[in-house]
Amino acid sequence: MDSRLDGIDEVLLMGPGPSCVPDEVYRALSRKTLGHLDPYFIGIMDDVKRMLQRVMMTGNRLTIPVSGTGSAGMEACFVNLVEPGDRVLVLVNGVFGLRMQDVASRLGAEVDSLEFEWGTPVRVERVAEKLRAADYKIVAMVHAETSTGVRNPAAEVGRLLEGSRSLYLLDAVTSLGGIEVATDAWGVDALYSGSQKCLSTPPGLAPLSFSGRALETVMARKSKVPNWYLDVGMITKYWEGKARFYHHTAPVNMIYALHQALSLILEEGLEHVFARHLENHRRLVAGLEKLGVEMLVEPESRLPMLNSVRIPEGTDDKAVRGRLRADYKIEIGAGLGPLAGKIWRFGLMGHTARPENVDSLLSALKAILV
Amino acid sequence: MDSRLDGIDEVLLMGPGPSCVPDEVYRALSRKTLGHLDPYFIGIMDDVKRMLQRVMMTGNRLTIPVSGTGSAGMEACFVNLVEPGDRVLVLVNGVFGLRMQDVASRLGAEVDSLEFEWGTPVRVERVAEKLRAADYKIVAMVHAETSTGVRNPAAEVGRLLEGSRSLYLLDAVTSLGGIEVATDAWGVDALYSGSQKCLSTPPGLAPLSFSGRALETVMARKSKVPNWYLDVGMITKYWEGKARFYHHTAPVNMIYALHQALSLILEEGLEHVFARHLENHRRLVAGLEKLGVEMLVEPESRLPMLNSVRIPEGTDDKAVRGRLRADYKIEIGAGLGPLAGKIWRFGLMGHTARPENVDSLLSALKAILV
């Protein structure tokens, strides 16, 4: 029987994720499935934990991939830490900050937020002001706002929270593996990411890390975590210790793929990986300038792995994206929310961040935008 | 660098899942990742929906794979349908019935349950009695209780609920693709399964189907679904209609794998697939009888794909499972809860249900149990 799967093209993934996947990772993904309690598989799980700790720069014991995509990581952080009535401050400057508000509100949190113009970063002095005025159980921010391409001041917000009782929750979905994410040094208590961005694994896993303080907060809850599937107390019993208690069946093959992807990153070396992202970002920005295409974000707040540009006036957004996909097999990202129709988002994440890819995109844009 | 992944054996997966995966499904899994909003990928999603509808025997429009393992399917059903204070009746005769109780309680449901001895089926007359005594918003049951190997009377419970206002929630994790699951004919309102059982896809997806009545219940909620990630109202906007709204990034490669696995099942034909499960079950039972190994469950309630046997007296449970894995590369399942140390569970799920596998297990058991 002819299958639609036979028609899958190799597309150059230069949108906001998923990113290009190295061949070694595809091979890992299709290795023979083992049981989720198999002793050999548990060795693979232990490797993944150790490698995630290195990439996240943390000694947190609770460092695991959650069995879902990046948004499941967000959900897992909030659902474990929030109890009804808890005060949560969310710093919002894009879609993923808004999503945090929604997730926390659904769980009965009293959500307060501080908004910043989309395309600009969170301003630390305004956060400081807010923190002087009220106490929060959780302060939550997106490190790399995928909807705009803005890098938020994660280290600085961490410093503000030093010595406070607030837990620091950081979304590192797009940043992890592309720029420094110093979980422990920044005092982050709950961090999550996604496999399909700079880790260059297909979508399906959400690496997550909880500090000792965050774990104590979970253990001291008055009510059970209102989400059995994402209860980190139970998940930890599967990922830790000698007796591995069955919780849910882990996505075995996805974990193989993540294992391979983390190995590749650590072999290349985190510093080299970050430098590669930066170099390719610079190459892209220089090329875009030549084409007269303007960046949305000011240089000091730009993310190397997510480049938002203003759609040139008079240009048909959809038509350009359609031609890139159809004629050049390149995927780029559209604008979201208030930026829909106004920007494009060019991803240079993980395996996508290579000069030949930057050049392919630039020459395609040059041909289309004449 | 030497990778632990290089040491992955091909294990004959004869436990309670994951099951053996056909080579075609591994190949599908490792096809090039497309974007989750790519028009070609949306065609693949549409195929998956249609094929799931056929395998689930339903016309339900809301029929999709949830981005998580089987337990995420359970969570999705309850979290969308339950509001605090709702009355839920759970029929319990094993681990997965207990899990339903836990999941529903965490969401604030008033959970009532009816318990049956583990290893025996739900008795319809006791359910009828219970339903005469009280009204429930949801009546929930596990079709194939993976912890015991019991087939519960799904059609009969469905008939009991005909004309009532209760929603019928059925766990088809282990049954789907191995025995008939007639979602519409049985009046099931919310059904979920897992990719790694009789569908022979690696773990990571939970096929789910909601009836129109279930969807209306979600739409009529007084409160937002307290789980952003699993909110079917929002997920549906991604899986349906012309404009596909980005919700979360779908696990693209896992969906390829499910596409291939469903195609294989439908090519073989559901009736043939069910017959193959039954034949291999009979072959296994006959062989076990020759070895003097006793089945846990009475013939009329046995599941073909999950065969529980009493561990012969004086036999070392762990040692036998360890030898099977180490010397024969066969995984079988241990007992859970009150059945730990008392039973083994032999899975004949999906691609595992083949005579050569039955014979390998029987000859290994024969050698070990002398």
Confidence of residue A22 (pLDDT cuts 50, 70, 90): very high
Mean pLDDT of chain B: 97
A residues 69-128 closer than 8 Å to B (CB): 69-72, 74-75, 79, 99, 102-103, 105-108
Residue that terminates a domain, selected from B266, B281, B297? B266
In the predicted model, what is the mean pLDDT of residues A22-42? 97
Nearest-neighbour CA in chain A from B113: distance (Å)? 18
Percent of chain A surpassing pLDDT 70: 100
Instruction: Return d(Cα A100, Cα A78) in angstroms, integer.
Output: 8
DSSP-based three-state secondary structure for A25: helix
pLDDT at res. A335 = 97
* DSSP-derived pairing of the beta strands A87-92 and B306-310: unpaired
- Say if residues A129 and A122 touch (Cβ distance below 8 Å): no
Please give the pLDDT value at position A370.
82
- Of the candidates A188, A159, A203, A194, the one whose C-alpha atom is nearest the C-alpha of residue A175 is A194
Residue A141 sits in a domain of what CATH number?
3.40.640.10
CB contact under 8 A, A3 and B259: yes
Report the 10 Å Cβ neighbour count for A68: 29
Examine the domain organization and report whether A131 and A257 are in the same domain.
yes
Q: Between β-strands B167-171 and B138-142, what pairing exists: parallel, antiparallel or unpaired?
A: parallel
Tokens matching residue A289: 């300038």
> Which residues from chain A sit within 8 angstroms of residue B325, using beta carbons?
38-39
pLDDT at A299 over 60: yes
Give the tokens for residue B349. 């799920």
Strand order, beta sheet including B110-115: B62-66, B206-210, B190-192, B167-171, B138-142, B87-92, B110-115
B15 touches chain A (CB under 8 A): yes
pLDDT of B1 reads 55
Per-residue pLDDT of A221-265, as tens digits, reads 999 999 999 999 999 989 987 777 888 999 999 999 999 999 999
Q: Using 50 as the pLDDT threshold, list the residues of chain B that sit under it.
A: none
Residues B202 and B61 in one domain: yes
B40: β partners? none
Same domain, B255 and B280: no
Alpha carbon distance A174, A206 (integer Å): 11
Residues A195 and A331 in one domain: no
Count of residues in chain B: 370
The alpha carbon torsion through A133, A156, A165, A91 (nearest 10 deg) reads 60
Contact B276, B265 (CB under 8 A): no
Report the alpha-carbon distance of residue A275 to residue A265 in Å, rounded. Answer: 12
Residue B267 near residue A1, CB atoms below 8 Å: yes
pLDDT number for residue A246 = 84
Instruction: Say how far residue B270 (Cα) sits from the centre of its chain.
Output: 16
CATH of the domain at A303: 3.90.1150.10
Contact B35 A11 (CB under 8 A): yes
d(CA A174, CA A184): 18
Taking the C-alpha atoms of residue B149 and residue B296, their distance in angstroms, rounded to an integer, is 8
Alpha helices in chain A (DSSP H): 23-29, 39-56, 70-81, 95-106, 124-133, 154-161, 212-219, 232-239, 252-268, 270-290, 317-328, 355-369
User: A310 and A289, same structural domain?
Assistant: yes
Q: In Å, what is the CA distance from A74 to each residue of A53, A155, B210, B282? A: 18, 20, 25, 47
DSSP tag of B354? S
Helix (H, G, I), strand (E, B) or coil at A50: helix
Block residue for tokens 């299709």: A30
A350 touches chain B (CB under 8 A): no
CB < 8 Å to B107, chain A: 226
In a shared domain, residues A305 and A254: no
- A216, A237, A266 — which closes off a domain? A266
The verdict on A40 and A165 lying in the same domain is yes
**A245 touching B (Cβ < 8 Å):** no
A305: nearest Cα among A171, A199, A207, A157: A199
What is the pLDDT, as a whole number, of residue A1?
A: 55
Chain B partners of A226 at a C-beta cutoff of 8 Å?
A: 106-108, 226
CB-based burial, A173-192: b 16+ in 10 Å, e otherwise: bbbbbbbebebbebbbbbbb
Q: Which residues contact B80 (CB under 8 A, 6 or more apart)?
A: B190, B210, B214, B218, B225, B227, B230, B231, B232, B233
CB A99 within 8 A of CB A106: no
Q: Are residues B95 and B149 in the same domain?
A: yes
**Residues A142, A252 within the same domain:** yes
pLDDT tens figures, A141-180: 999 999 999 999 999 999 999 999 999 999 999 999 999 9
Q: Please list the alpha-helical segments (H only) found in chain B.
A: 23-29, 39-56, 70-81, 95-106, 124-133, 154-161, 212-219, 232-239, 252-268, 270-291, 317-328, 355-369
As a whole number of angstroms, the distance between CA A146 and CA B247 comes to 14
Total count of domains within chain A: 2
Whether residues A115 and A235 fall in one domain: yes
Say if residues B187 and B181 touch (Cβ distance below 8 Å): no
Which of the listed residues A222, A239, A266 is the one where a domain comes to its end? A266
Of A40, A224, A226, the CB nearest to B226: A226
Residues A63-87 have pLDDT tens digits of 999 999 999 999 999 999 999 999 9
Quick check: A21 contacting B, CB < 8 Å?
yes
Tokens of B80: 């969308």
pLDDT in tens, A88-129: 999 999 999 999 999 999 999 999 999 999 999 999 999 999
Whether the complex's predicted ipTM is more than 0.90 is answered with yes
Pairwise CB contact (< 8 Å): A249 & B18: yes
Domain shared by B198 and B321, yes or no: no
Contact B11 A20 (CB under 8 A): no
- B35 in reach of chain A (CB within 8 A): yes
Q: Are residues B204 and B316 in the same domain?
A: no
Question: Can you give the residue range of the structural domain that contains B359?
Answer: 4-18+269-369
Is A204's CB within 8 Å of B40's CB? no
B245 and chain A in contact, CB less than 8 A? no
pLDDT value of position A240: 86
Torsion of CA A224, A229, A234, A240, to 10 degrees: -150
Reported confidence tier of residue A205, pLDDT bands at 50, 70, 90: very high
